[in-house]
Amino acid sequence: MNSIKFFRTQNGFCYLSEEEIIISDKDSASIILANDFKLTKTFNLMFYGVFSIGMLFLAYEYYQNTKLIPVILFSLLSLYFAYGLFDCIINVAIKKIKKQDITHVSFQKGITGLTRSKFVVHFNDGVKIRKRNIYLADTLFNMTDYQPVIDLLKDAGYIEMDQL
């Protein structure tokens, strides 16, 4: 029987076995339900879309009243939500990825105060190459040591030295 290695992510845990990667949300009970391969992101798409349109509407209303500061603020918020919408469309939220489907795993170090460190898993879902982001359990202002996680991925055979 093979051993399962795991590490903490932003929303739960990531389990690494010799056959697959399983990403769980908040508890290990979702591993049992991890056979759901649907790309369920309708709520996120609606959330980011509605908020982006709402912020643009507010920016337009303030523009008509010649108030410049709220126009800039709401325009920037609209761009932020539009980025979230675009990110939801491109990336998937699949829970289980088989090792033979993985084409590439890369690491992107976060920028303190702006982004989180993450692993990007590129995989083939039978239709096209998709991406799954695995965000590490650090905060925006306190970057944790990510070297043990890189070592876990190397030991499990998901990442090569030349991929970093």
pLDDT value, residue 164: 58
pLDDT value, residue 59: 92
Predicted TM-score (pTM) of this structure: 0.68
Are residues 50 and 73 part of one domain? yes
Q: What is the mean pLDDT of residues 58-85?
A: 90
pLDDT value, residue 33: 46
Q: Which residue has the higher pLDDT, 109 or 145?
A: 109
Tally the domains of the chain. 2
Distance CA 162, CA 133 (A): 20
Of the residues 28, 57, 90, the one at which a domain ends: 90
**What integer best gives the mean pLDDT of the chain?**
79
Are residues 50 and 18 part of one domain? no
Residues 6+ apart with CB under 8 A from 90: 131
Residues 6+ apart with CB under 8 A from 106: 119, 120, 122, 163, 164
| Domain boundaries, position 17 | 5-37+95-163
Distance CA 125, CA 140 (A): 31
Are residues 100 and 28 part of one domain? yes
Nearest CA among 123, 124, 122, 153 for reference residue 136: 153
Are residues 30 and 10 part of one domain? yes
